[in-house]
Chains A and B, each alone.
Chain A
Amino acid sequence: MRALDIDYMLGLVPVILGYVPLTIGMALAAMVCALLLACLLAVERVARIPVLDQFVQLFISFFRGTPLLVQLFLFYYGLPQILPVLAGINGVTAAIIGLTLHFSAYMAESIRAAILGVDRSQWEASQAVGMTQGQLMRRIILPQAARVAAPTLVNYFIDMIKSTSLAFTLGVTEMMGATQKEAAGSFLYFEAFLVVAMLYWAIVEVLSYLQRRLEGRLNKALAR
């Protein structure tokens, strides 16, 4: 066993840190899009609009039932061959779209469960004051469901950040891609991947801390 090249590792940290904004940026963009899409999917699943419901179920089943890596490849390398409009799509965009679709399928199920968990009295009170279905969802049901679903959704965000590392397979130089390049130059694979692992870990720890604070706050507001 050889000794770790600590100097190399310390020198690598700022290099990889330079790619943190891209990683977080991709995850944030995908998270916002996935949340919006997941809300629409979840509301549809609760409302069960004929025909559309079958499509939504198929969508959710497919994106939960196949590996994210396969979906990304299908989307980035495969689809442009049959849909020429997609030719020349860049890796970052493709990764954001892939992450959005994949995670929205999971998040839709959590949000749906949270919506169904909202007490019937809340629906009836909203209807009784004359709200439309849209008003009732936006003003009363979704905010209450969001509180229940929030911890799970933050977990998905954490998962999403780690999953952005797959974007390097689409040629994106994010944290993982940058590490790969550095390691290929230095041949110090262990050191390089250890550094990137530690950085992912640190990001996730910060988020977990924020998650605990958020939960504490939500619990206070909802205390019964």
Chain B
Amino acid sequence: MISIRGLTKRFGATTVLDGIDLDIAAGERVAIIGPSGTGKSTLLRCLNYLDRPEAGVIRIGDLTVDAATAKPAQILALRRRTSFVFQNYSLFANKTAHQNITEALITVQRKPRAEADARADAILREIGLADKAGAYPAALSGGQQQRIGIGRAMALDAALMLLDEPTSALDPEWVGEVLDLMRRVAERRQTMLIVTHEMQFAREIADRVIFMEGGRIVEQGPPSQIFDAPQDKRTESFLRRVR
């Protein structure tokens, strides 16, 4: 069970997140949609303190992190309960595909090397990149890099997987393979919070869709409600624009 209360983030004078309250059940897959500059990425980045929120409490299981008092050890603990898939992949440039997956297992989770290697092999097979185990990110296509990015997050077995527009930096030809992989991750009931512009995808995999605007949650509900019968005018006009 994950709960977020009053999450607030300002950049200078502008409030980018305006007291976000959100609960996510274990195994729930939540999609966030909304116009550009609304604070979707900032919300994800505040959930693992890549951006430090000014206020708000985040609870994941028995861990509680309050922005007012958050200490480095708590921030580390929070990051170790979440995984992150970046829009621009952000693979470790000095590590091979295989090492990108084992790196945190060994240095952060302190797993024995053999176990980490076995896990990476299994994940590479699953994401269809077993033949690229020894390749450096620079030698991989965007789609392959993002599949490794997702594989790296899968390996961590985190209580919450955060995904920030995983397909929007991709050339159109690679979008399909990455969506397919995320579908498989979602089917396993990995708890996930995914920001996406792929409305069809959100409708397919999400248990709940959140529409955000101006740093607030405007409306949320099952995909059928948000997409077919939005209650708020802002949701409706956003959906009309993106369709």
Contacts and interface: CB of A to CB of B under 8 A. Distances in A.
B163 to A, nearest CB: 12
B86 A121 contact: yes
Interface stretch (A10-18, A36-44, A82-90, A127-135): A127-135
Given A130-B104, A131-B107, A144-B93, A125 B138 contact: no
Interface string A85-110: 00000000000000000000000000
A124 B87 CA distance: 12
A144 B92 CA distance: 9
Contact of B90 (A125, A130, A144): A125
A81 interface: no
Interface stretch (A26-34, A72-80, A153-161, A216-224): A216-224
A125 B145 CA distance: 13
A130 B88 CA distance: 19
Contacts of B84: 125, 128-129
Interface in B48-99: 48, 50, 76, 79-80, 82-84, 86, 88, 90-95
Given A124-B50, A223-B138, A129 B88 contact: no
A139 B138 contact: no
Consensus secondary structure, chain A interface = helix
A143 interface: yes
B91 A143 contact: no
Chain A, interface size category, equals 20 to 34
Contacts of B80: 130
A129 B90 contact: no
A131 B108 contact: yes
Interface in B107-122: 107-108
Contact of B83 (A119, A122, A128, A144): A128
Contact of A131 (B83, B94, B104): B104
Given A127-B79, A128-B48, A130-B79, A121 B88 contact: yes
Contacts of B86: 121, 124-125, 128
A140 interface: yes
Contacts of B48: 127-128
B213 interface: no
Contacts of B165: none
A127 B83 CA distance: 10
B152 interface: yes
Contacts of B76: 130, 132
A143 B103 CA distance: 14
Interface string A179-197: 0000000000000000000
A126 interface: yes
Interface residues of B, number: 25
A128 B149 CA distance: 12
A122 B86 CA distance: 11
Given A122-B90, A122-B93, A127 B104 contact: no
Contacts of A221: 136
B156 interface: yes
A126 B152 CA distance: 11
A128 B50 contact: yes
Contacts of B91: 125
Contacts of A147: 94
A125 B80 CA distance: 12
A135 B105 CA distance: 13
Given A130-B80, A139-B103, A125 B136 contact: no
Contacts of A129: 79, 83-84, 103-104, 108, 152, 156
Interface in A167-224: 221-224
Nearest to B78: A130
B108 A130 contact: yes
B90 A124 contact: yes
Interface of B: 48, 50, 76, 79-80, 82-84, 86, 88, 90-95, 103-104, 107-108, 136, 138-139, 152, 156
26 contacts: A119-B93, A121-B86, A121-B90, A122-B90, A122-B93, A124-B50, A124-B90, A125-B86, A125-B92, A126-B92, A127-B48, A127-B50, A127-B79, A128-B83, A128-B86, A129-B79, A129-B83, A129-B156, A130-B79, A130-B80, A131-B108, A135-B107, A139-B103, A144-B94, A222-B138, A223-B139
